[in-house]
Chains A and B, each alone.
Chain A
Amino acid sequence: MKRVLIQDTKGSLKKETRDFLVSFNSQLQERGLADTTQVLMVSDIGVYNKGIAVRILPEGFVYPNLEIRHIAEIIEKTVVKGEKIPELIFDRKNKQQRIVLRNCGKIDPESMDDYIAYDGYLGLARALELGSAKVIEEMKKSGLRGRGGAGFPTWLKWNITNGVKGDEKYFICNGDEGDPGAYMDRSVLEGDPHSVIEGMMIGAIATGATRGFFYIRAEYPLAVERIQKGIDECYARGLLGKNIMGSNFNFDIEIRLGAGAFVCGEETALIASIEGLRGYPRPRPPFPSVKGLWGYPTVINNVETLANVSYILLKGGDNFGKIGTEGSRGTKVFALTGKVRNSGLVEVPMGITLREIVFDIGGGVLNNRGIKAIQTGGPSGGVIPEQFFDTPVEYESLQKLGSIMGSGGMIVLDENDCVVDISKFYLGFCVDESCGKCAPCRIGGTQMLGILKKLSEGKSEEEDLKRLSQIADAMQKASLCGLGQTASNPVVSTLKYFMPEYRAHLLDHKCPSGKCASLVKYTINKDRCTACSMCMRVCPVEAITGTRAEKYTINPEKCISCGQCFDVCKFTSVLRQ
């Protein structure tokens, strides 16, 4: 049976698509093919903003930008004969490449047998055969860099710890994922827990670690449950404990729960937290690789890094090193969220452009609005405006733009988002999460937040923009740990790229995107109002009054400028000033 899947990839061709479907069905009927062909509408066909598109199964041909005149040819050639129509075909390349997420959605995360059926623990077996030096060599060939954000070469980290003498050595998996909008690690821990456990065991072989800890935030109960099940099953079947797989390698793993403090994702604070102390960072050096948990050499790797490790040992470092670019090997998982049509997790080879991620994979901006920028790297990252969307995604190239790769949050901002508001949000997050130990972060953050609040209320003065830059500079140079050093990044990058928008807040007391509530006023244009009463029903504070006969008005005294009436009005009769 042939199947013809149809989708309106623009989202604005409802009537045309319906006509197309009807015409397709009637032409099939005329040719007596209706019983052997199923025509149906689908939600997503894999191409975006290309008019009406069809996909024919089982061949999988995709034809975009179709009109009714194309139907006869498609039926004749593809439906009847199964041939491709070269003039119409769209060669859709899947731009995603799955290494970290290789098993997510495929295996039952609570079944070890299922993981083994997908080549699980063969990487561990190989690592045991190779021994420490050769495993590190393999990692060096792969070129894997830490996926937690900083991008430190994994092999080097392991090599340092391997070279340090210690009665005990520890291996920690950092699962304290806390960036707003980022949840790659949670998904890997939940979808493929054994790959992370295996990665940690391989790391332990390479570094000589004897005990491992999963540091996972308590807000991830399902991840904790599945990792615990994985560890239990490993013990039950002799993959953890003494003499693993008949070798002299002994290793134990336990879980430690984080109570949700953002700063505990910083490695020295994380170690303090595992030790049972308050989650305060401490100055480095000494680095944890030399002197870490309870004073012993300790490796700390991110969840995603470890999921890569099991793959590298299975397939070989050379194979992994072929993916990506010179300085950034392999793939990266991003949590694509914000104003994007398909929000979710994407895994792409390094070197892909931001534009490809947002438009070809993410399907473009929600509701066909204009795109403004993309925020990467969470509260430590920056905002990248649209003119730089053709930049390849690599550690260094993103840094040059004033942002960072970070752990993988990617938030799409559309034209309705205000950069002052976004900066305020991220800075507010860091002020809440600052541990308060060092003054630049504790005081600087609060001061900057105060200035941003003044800006968004139209109460700021000329000097304030200069003050923002000065404080940001001081925080970057003088803060104790990564949190404070990077907390001002969103402000710095938006000041760099969106100065006119800051100045509009400062001089004209206007918010160009209408987000800052104190700077916008809403009124109703009675000439255009159709008295549908939608605005009145949606208003949360009953500021809109009137009747169907006399139409509606907004009481400025009561209005909180939330903008819900503006969004709900289909006749553009709610005005924003």
Chain B
Amino acid sequence: MDLVIVGFGVVGQGVAEVIQQKRDLLHDAFRKKIRIVGVFDSSSYETKKTGLDPSALVKRKASENKVGKRRFDGDAWRMLMDLEYDTLIEVTPTNIVTGEPGFTNIITALRSGKNVITSNKGPLALRFRELSDAARRNNVQFRFEATVGGAMPIINLSRELLKGEKILSIRGILNGTCNFILDRMMEEGLPFAQALREAQEMGIAEKDPSYDIDGVDSACKVAILANAIFGLDKKYSDVKKTGIRGVTEDAISLAGEEKKVIRLIGEISPKRLEVAPRLVRIGHPLSIGGTRNIVQIHTDLAGEITVAGKGAGKYETASAILSDLVALLNEGGKS
């Protein structure tokens, strides 16, 4: 199976490393060679029909801050149309305003009859239906486990292993940064601003933390789950969202006196499509601290199923992308 990776930041490099690391295992299991035949970052690219060396790509990126020797104008999609490959791995950064460049990269690949695996939330939170329709029309696969919850398997679990169940609702912690901040406020009695600063110093929160703390990231994931699992046609803007900026020390302390914690919970149910801070009983699965993500799936037969895992990180996200790749190989995706 010939792959093209578009986006060679932390996630793209993680994918290259994991492909190198798991190459033999995949070959033994599926009797197929996995080759990276093209790779793009924002200003350079490299292609080779017989396959590029993943380690060399990562090394060059580290030493020269570019993945390829050849420069281009940044529009990978134009070049994708002329390349021969089977599967696009689209891992450019999320853009929640336009969905670009991810959307055009993905739709170009799908329309060219290529499978797509992505970790990019923007295109799915804005234009999910267009992408899934394009995949269906072109008889190719579009997989996106890495867009929600990093290493926590939720989309493939719900769509494949729980296919016979009726999924009634899903709720959970979908953003590790918010959970870390709320947990530190509770455990150490820190004011919100100080807990946020600590998260920023530890590299858990971004310099501009609004994407996380205002609930944008969680709302994107809620929209993706609503579309992918419940078959809805929702955009990020359809999700009612309240972030955690307004959570005060008094609120945390009063909740604690009632043996409760405050957690930012995403919920998809027939009545709600929402991200909001909620009161959670201490000891409840959704009361977990730290940066992990956790989701409860409520089904008609199995009842409540809870899955947890690391929500972000180079190898955690690469792990989710690998699971999609394995699913493609399992289903005999074009090789």
- Do A and B come together as binding partners? no
Instruction: Write the residues of chain B forming the contact surface with A, with a CB cutoff of 8 angstroms.
Output: none
Binding site for B on A (CB under 8 A): none
